[in-house]
Structure 1
């Protein structure tokens, strides 16, 4: 799981850059709209609750959030988005899953295929790489928190693992279905994560050279820059040594 944590931290830093460009808002609005379309309120719709938490943590204005939810609920006319997941391979056969929200399937698949193909990858069939991943809730906490406290809270509300990372932060993982109750437990007891998400985590990560890692990260970044792409999961492992080289 530690390989995922390093990748998640890289994405977390990148999220700040995305927010400055406004891209993150486009993706969050789509997620709010589609989640609201599933019906219910934040207590009965876990997807909507997660989307709302993400929007608020990124300082999205409440009226923007309300409009997106209203569109999804059918109270305001708007574009009709659908969820699509593409599976494929990046450079050196790295497994990639790409979750999208789109109003035009043909445009989205063409853009995704183009990025993969021009970088030595290709789209796969449904199920071609999904078996390599498991859906998990992931939390990251700064070093200011006590590991024993996180462990005590976590194990009481569904955490599967609490890990101390080399950068002195902590990673807590849980089953996807336990994400919301665990997050609420942490926040209620004044343990606010610096990053949290439900994501597909690889069961077995793959190591690449520095050069090939950079190529793969460039492909992932290009995919994430597409407006239709919400999330990219990969089985790329990034070692501590590679992290330091990438940061230099």
Structure 2
């Protein structure tokens, strides 16, 4: 019986990973579609498409899938529109949601419904603008390049913060310097594992793990929605909260 249970657990985890991968591919496909519609299907002349392709490679999206997405967008890509939503979850946690959708009414209804069902409230656009700064965030492999020399190059290209992790370096830039940093990485022959404009909170809110988990379940539900690209919040990911998340995984 224990062997059967173990196999069920493995299947469940694999299913969750497959679903997560499928969601990532779907998000990137939408990014590619919007990029192609905005600037054409040639990545050399379309910086947004170049970033989307780089992100696709970063999550191991097959080359054929990337090319199919570009070709489809060039022929008859969906008329996707960018939408944002701002609101509050339980405990007054601010939540900023970015969407790409081909049906505005459906998306508005879904987002409002999730907020209401999970004890949150949908606010007006602009109500959270003072709580988040939009910044360029680049995750690059550490590699063998001289770290001190690299940091000087990155600072010269507009980096305002650099985090060095075990295998990667995360670089933060002002939104206005996103393109400049991308160009610098191209010059250095460095391919980012991920590059995007993200909304970084100006300060963080610490919650008891039980309450934080309630808010994170709300965020999970938003992220499961097909129209949602990104969800931002300001919950402090404390060691205690990380442990609670692992126990509930």
Partner deviation per Cα, 1:110-155 (whole Å, 9 max, x = no partner): 1111111111111111111123111111234677777534422321
Tell me how many residue pairs correspond in the alignment.
230
Q: What CA distance in whole angstroms lies between the structure 2 residues aligned with 1:32 and 1:155? A: 29
202-211 vs 219-228, greater mean Cα deviation: 202-211
Q: What CA distance in whole angstroms lies between the structure 1 residues aligned with 2:203 and 2:94? A: 10
Contact 1:157/1:181 (<8 A) preserved: yes
From the superposition, tell whether residues 121 and 197 of structure 1 become closer, same or farther in structure 2 (CA, over 3 Å).
same
1:124-139 aligned within 5 A: 124-139=123-138
Q: What CA distance in whole angstroms lies between the structure 2 residues aligned with 1:123 and 1:18? A: 31
Please give the TM-score of this superposition, normalised by the length of structure 2. Answer: 0.78
204-213 vs 133-142, greater mean Cα deviation: 133-142
Q: What CA distance in whole angstroms lies between the structure 1 residues aligned with 2:168 and 2:56? A: 24
Contact 1:19/1:58 (<8 A) preserved: no
Q: What CA distance in whole angstroms lies between the structure 2 residues aligned with 1:140 and 1:68? A: 24
144-153 vs 28-37, greater mean Cα deviation: 144-153
Deviation for aligned residue 1:208: 1.3
Q: Does 1:101 align with 2:118?
A: no
Q: What CA distance in whole angstroms lies between the structure 1 residues aligned with 2:132 and 2:191? A: 27
Q: 1:11 corresponds to which residue?
A: none
Q: 2:10 corresponds to which residue?
A: none
Q: What CA distance in whole angstroms lies between the structure 2 residues aligned with 1:147 and 1:243? A: 30
Contact 1:136/1:201 (<8 A) preserved: yes
Please give the TM-score of this superposition, normalised by the length of structure 1. Answer: 0.79
Q: 2:153 corresponds to which residue?
A: 153
SS state at 1:221 partner: helix
1:35-54 aligned within 5 A: 35-40=35-40, 41-54=42-55
Deviation for aligned residue 1:201: 0.8
Q: 1:178 corresponds to which residue?
A: 177
Q: Does 1:247 align with 2:241?
A: no
Q: Does 1:60 align with 2:35?
A: no
Q: What CA distance in whole angstroms lies between the structure 1 residues aligned with 2:228 and 2:135? A: 19
From the superposition, tell whether residues 53 and 223 of structure 1 become closer, same or farther in structure 2 (CA, over 3 Å).
same
1:182-221 aligned within 5 A: 182-183=181-182, 185-186=184-185, 189=188, 195-221=194-220
Structure 2, unaligned stretches of length 5 or more?
1-15
Q: 1:25 corresponds to which residue?
A: 25
31-40 vs 63-72, greater mean Cα deviation: 63-72
SS state at 2:216 partner: helix
Contact 2:57/2:193 (<8 A) preserved: no
